[in-house]
Structure 1
Amino acid sequence: MRQGTTGDGGLSLVERRKAALRFEIACAAVHLFTSQGVAATTGEQIAQSVGISSRTLWRHFPTKESCVLPLLTAALDFAVDRLRHWPAETSLLDFFAETCRKGDLPAATPEILDLIRMTSTEPALRAVWLQAHDDALPVLGGLLARRSGADSGDLRVTVHAATLNGALRAAVEDFARRYADRPDAADAELARCLDAALRAASEGLPY
């Protein structure tokens, strides 16, 4: 067994603690960004609010804006994980509809919604958001390639992965925008945004 991992292939205690700290840093960064602005916030302030040194913060994240990455990738990580359990006989649209029906969607916390709304007005945060989706593109492409039996470099697979990626991003952004004043918005609203985005993507280019 590789050192630092658990026997069942899950995260080791050290890795879980690291992930928890990164998530705590992300939440603290969003709180400071929303309360005093991105430009006025320093990495030192983020570190202080979590109770760690600046040196520790910079070991985890290269910039203050990148501190929010764990929150921005949460929904993408969820989507990728769900797609790994996509039954062969079920269409993509039906699979996500069933996922939504079961209420398995990740929690849309106020911190995540605030952050996603800020990506539309803060260029540095927008860059982190788009980078998160760009990093997810080859992963989605690999899953679709295995599903179809095509090569991951196939142009059709790449286009389909980009379409799915864009639909997921648009759905989350639409939900964050629509329910800015409703922090208690239910999973049903998020499910509707996701369903509408995926249905639009499945139409192709009807222009």
Structure 2
Amino acid sequence: MTAGRGRTGRPPLTEERKAEIRLEIAHAAVDLFVTQGVAATTGEQIGQAVGVSARTVWRYFPSKESCVRPLLTAGVGLIADALRHWRPGRPLAEALDFAAGEALAGPEPAAVGALVRLTRTEPGLRAIWLQTHDEAEPAFARALAERAGLPAGDLRPVIQAAMFNAALRVAVEHHAWHTADTAADTPADPATARARLAGTLHVALAVVGEGLG
């Protein structure tokens, strides 16, 4: 009687490697969307650009537009943590200073900027962009509630999170749309892009901090 055989084949991917693949797919999708448009881009092309099959692409994402989500969701946790540790009496803009690198600009400022510009003309990408912010808002509300020691269900952190979230979205859109077709769009140094975006966000958050007057 022969001994039982061990399992063959590739070892399962780690969660870290899965995240890397998702991000690679996101970058490939944005590059293709920019160069040839969303309608002309297929899952096969996205997979080919990464070196995986279309079946693998669909295993990670339900649609080609949703492939860009990793570029948009990067930093949500950092932003929520920044809000949670925002010191009382300090300007709202300071809440994000320590997370400015990843949380404010995402993995690559140029890729995020190109993607946000596409949301003006591509309804599918616009829906993903807005959905991403919609899903991030409860995390911001929970962080603000914890910071203030408020109970679950309190309306105040929910309203604050909505204002904060809207300021983030509009600031990123303003920055992306106003740097289109300029040298500022693709600076030589990613740190420069992050600094410019951080400046726009500081202005937006200062307006939120001032309230409606």
Q: Same fold (TM over 0.5)?
A: yes
Mapped contact 1:26–1:68 kept (Cα < 8 A): yes
**Alpha-carbon spacing, 1:73–1:146, altered in 2? closer, same or farther (3 Å):** same
C-alpha separation in 1, matches of 2:152 and 2:138: 8
Larger RCO: 1 or 2 (CA < 8 Å, sep 6+): 2
The equivalent of 1:158 in structure 2 is: 158
The equivalent of 2:20 in structure 1 is: 20
C-alpha separation in 2, matches of 1:30 and 1:123: 15
Higher mean C-alpha deviation, range 62-71 or range 118-127: 118-127
The equivalent of 2:73 in structure 1 is: 73
Residue 37 of structure 2 is aligned to residue 30 of structure 1: no
C-alpha separation in 1, matches of 2:97 and 2:110: 25
Instruction: Give the count of matched residue pairs.
Output: 192
The 5-angstrom pairing of residues 117-196 of structure 1 reads: 117-180=117-180, 181=182, 182=184, 183-184=186-187, 185-196=192-203
**Alpha-carbon spacing, 1:21–1:90, altered in 2? closer, same or farther (3 Å):** farther
Runs (5+) with no aligned partner, structure 1:
1-12
C-alpha separation in 1, matches of 2:178 and 2:108: 13
AA at the equivalent of 2:95? F
C-alpha separation in 2, matches of 1:190 and 1:144: 23
**Alpha-carbon spacing, 1:152–1:165, altered in 2? closer, same or farther (3 Å):** farther
* Higher Cα Rg, which structure: 2
| SS, match of residue 41 in structure 1 | coil
Runs (5+) with no aligned partner, structure 2:
1-12
Mapped contact 2:23–2:71 kept (Cα < 8 A): yes
| CA shift for structure 1 position 160 | 0.4
| CA shift for structure 1 position 14 | 0.5
Superposition TM-score, scaled by structure 1 size: 0.83
Mapped contact 2:82–2:96 kept (Cα < 8 A): no
Cα displacement string for residues 24-68 of structure 1 (whole angstroms, at most 9, x for unaligned residues) = 000000000001000111111111111111111111000000000
| SS, match of residue 91 in structure 1 | coil
| CA shift for structure 1 position 121 | 1.4
